[in-house]
Amino acid sequence: MSQENVEIIRSWFEPFAASGEVDFSILHSDVEIYDHDLPDSRFHQGHDGFARWTEEWASAWDEYALTPEDYIDAGDRVVGVHRTTATGKASGITLDRQDAVIYTLRDGKIIRLDYFNNKPEALEAAGLSE
């Protein structure tokens, strides 16, 4: 099942990264989103919460790109690693870093998403090491 989970995340994230379009059929209707990158980020839930979370993030950037780098099998979870590059809308600051997301799946759908601004923190949270 774990390799199947990796393929589910790969087939969901790569089109999202390329187009910004979300395939909500892979997100559980009660998906929980925890953004560990922003200390004051609020909890988001459901399809509307996911859309709000991604819109809030995108609104801060003049342009951005997400480039998939790796998918790490963690049983019922997958650690997705991607490169984030962006230019701040107001500040002009450029961002180039490796981010990671722990995707928890249930019955082939993403039920929880934990976003980290670096791979080591995500691996530690998933009970893995680099």
Domain ranges of the chain: 2-125
What is the value of pTM for the model shown? 0.93
pLDDT at 40 over 90: no
Q: What is the pLDDT of the chain when averaged over all its residues?
A: 93
Residue 43's pLDDT band, with cuts at 50, 70 and 90, is confident
Residue 96's pLDDT band, with cuts at 50, 70 and 90, is very high
Closest CA to 113 of 40, 20, 51, 21: 51
Q: Where are the alpha helices (DSSP H) in 1-130?
A: 2-19, 46-59, 119-125
Q: What is d(CA 78, CA 102) in angstroms, rounded to the nearest whole number?
A: 6
**What is the fold, at CATH topology level, of the domain defined by 2-125?**
Nuclear Transport Factor 2; Chain: A, (3.10.450)
pLDDT at 41 over 90: no
